[in-house]
Amino acid sequence: MKISKNAQAGSLESCDILITVEPAKPGTGIEIKLTSPSIKQFGEMIREEIKEVVQRLEVTDVKITAIDKGSLGYCIKARTETALRRASGE
Amino acid sequence: MSKQKNDITKKKDERLRRTRLYIPGNNPAMMQNAMIYGADSLIFDLEDSIAINEKDAARFLVRNALQTLDFGEVEVTVRINPIETKYFSKDIAEIIPAKPDGILLPKTESLDDILLVDKEITRIEKEHKLKVGKIRIMPIIESAIGVLNVEEIATGPRVAAIGLGGEDLTADIGAVRTRNGKELEYISSRIILACAANKIQAIDTVFADINDLEGLYNVTVEAIEMGFQGKSIIHPSQIETVHKAFMPSKEEITKAEKIVKAYKESIKKGRGAITVDGKMIDVPVVIRAEQILKRAKAE
């Protein structure tokens, strides 16, 4: 999947996460900037959830900004997938 | 007239659906807490409560919730978008592999609608090597034409319960939506009859005023008296009131227990007709008594 434009999914409501996706130059890789109230405890886990979806959708170069509001894995993955698909123009 | 099923062996779907709670499919906070509210059935909504530009987000969120969250014994269903919309195929494609208990089909108008959805579900079930036929279809009747075809719709494959969509229906027939719902009496009776004839459940429409619990209680009691077996609700605060309305009185429970006990004894002793408190008891009376005890037990 090719990321061709900026896109967003999710919200800043409790239990949600706001994912913003931007195209990146080839070779940049997957860049994730994360903000979360529980970054110490769950930061790595959230990054992994995001990365799993990015890899499943075969996106190689992308910039992702994630603002977490206490979301669970199913939500993180859904919001990431939605943002990526929107950014690919699907 | 349709190919009316007179198959008396068709097993009745006994699942309790006193309350079917609508949860907006794009609200993770409500979705992940949904099972603790105590509704018999949950409806994750992809239709009316979801803005057009969020249909994709809700679809993925509901799919992931179905795949990941534990809802215990609660029935989990999804209201997809109507067949004629561009979202229908995408909804079905994402939701069916996540194995919901049922699919609510809004604006169902004919048996052909059910056959089309059944065909699509079957195709996806086979594609994903799922057990064919497990996912139920729950049509919602929301138009005059849907009401006129409800006898056929009720015979459709996978159909387990039919819901009445009072708001859209009232608008479609040009009636005024009143607090006591008299404009829906004939329609309700027709849906209840169609369901009863096919051994499936009829579910009453929502009561929109979430602050009026007394009104909710009264309309629910009336709905139960008519033959509805459940009510759609829009807020967790409505659950307790609806369940209270479904709860039989102590007198009803005592009488039902007597009837069932007497019936079981008569079977054991090979007797025919029996009486309880001077009244003759036959099979329909026993069935009603069993239904009362089941509702009582649910509490």
pLDDT in tens, B253-289: 999 999 999 888 888 887 777 888 888 888 888 888 9
Instruction: Please indicate whether, in this complex, the C-beta atoms of B64 and A15 are within 8 angstroms of each other.
Output: no
* Stretch A29-46: mean pLDDT: 95
Nearest residue of B to residue A13, measured between CA atoms: B29
Binary contact (A79, B61; C-beta < 8 A): yes
Residues of chain A contacting residue B60, judged by C-beta atoms under 8 Å apart: 78-79, 81-82
CB contact under 8 A, A13 and B27: yes
Q: What is the pLDDT of residue B100?
A: 98
Give me the residue from A16, A81, A82 closest to B28, CB to CB: A16
pLDDT at B299: 67
| Nearest CA among B219, B183, B194 for reference residue B114 | B194
- Residue among A74, A76, A86, A90 with most chain B CBs within 10 A, to mutate: A74
3-state secondary structure (DSSP) of residue B33 = helix
Cα nearest neighbour of B55 on chain A: A82
- Test mutation, B56, B69, B70, B87, chain A, max A CBs within 10 A: B56
- Report whether pLDDT(B68) > 90: yes
pLDDT, tens digit (0-9, with 9 covering 90-100), for B133-188: 999 999 999 999 999 999 999 999 999 999 999 989 999 999 998 877 788 999 99
Label residue B11 exposed, middle or buried (CB < 10 Å: 0-12, 13-18, 19+): exposed
Residue A75: pLDDT over 70: yes
Which chain B positions have a beta carbon within 8 Å of A9's beta carbon? Answer: 57
> Where in B63-197 does DSSP place strands (E)?
75-79, 102-105, 136-141, 161-164
Q: pTM for the whole thing?
A: 0.90
**CA A72, A78, A81, A86: dihedral to nearest 10 degrees?**
-120
* Sheet architecture: strand order including A30-35: A7-9, A17-23, A62-68, A30-35
Residue A54 Cα, gap to closest chain B Cα (Å): 15
Q: Could you tell me if B27 lies within 8 Å of chain A, comparing CB atoms?
A: yes
Closest residue of B to A76, CA-based?
A: B61
Least Cα separation, residue B56 to chain A (angstroms): 7
Q: Which two tokens stand for residue B83?
A: 């067949």
Q: What count of other Cβ atoms lies within 10 Å of the Cβ of residue B66? A: 22
- What does each C-alpha distance from B192 to B136, B141, B200 come to in angstroms? 18, 12, 9
Query: Which residues does chain B have within 8 Å of residue A71's beta carbon, measured at their own beta carbons?
Result: 28
A13: chain B residues, CB-CB within 8 Å: 27-29
Q: Residue B247's pLDDT is what? A: 92
Which of A15, A79, A86 minimises the CB distance to B29? A15
Q: Does B65 touch chain A (CB under 8 A)?
A: yes
On whether the CB atoms of residues B199 and B10 are closer than 8 A, the answer is yes
Alpha-helical (H) ranges within A1-90 are: 39-56, 73-87
Q: Three-state SS string across chain B, please?
A: CCCCCCCCCCCCCCCCCCEEEEEECCCHHHHHHHHHCCCCEEEEECCCCCCHHHHHHHHHHHHHHHHHCCCCCCEEEEECCCCCCCCHHHHHHHHHHHCCCEEEECCCCCHHHHHHHHHHHHHHHHHCCCCCCCCEEEEEECCHHHHHCHHHHCCCCCECEEEECHHHHHHHHCCCCCCCCHHHHHHHHHHHHHHHHCCCEEEECCCCCCCCHHHHHHHHHHHHHHCCCEEEECCHHHHHHHHHHHCCCHHHHHHHHHHHHHHHHHHHCCCCCEEECCEEECHHHHHHHHHHHHHHHHC
Binned at pLDDT 50, 70 and 90, residue B9 comes out as very low
Q: Which residue of A has its CA nearest to B30?
A: A15
What ipTM is given for this predicted complex? 0.97
Predicted confidence (pLDDT) at residue A43 exceeds the cutoff of 50: yes
Q: Which A-chain residues 6-65 have CB contacts (< 8 A) with chain B?
A: 9-10, 13-16
**Residue B67 pLDDT:** 97
Interface size A-B, in CB pairs within 8 Å, comes to 46
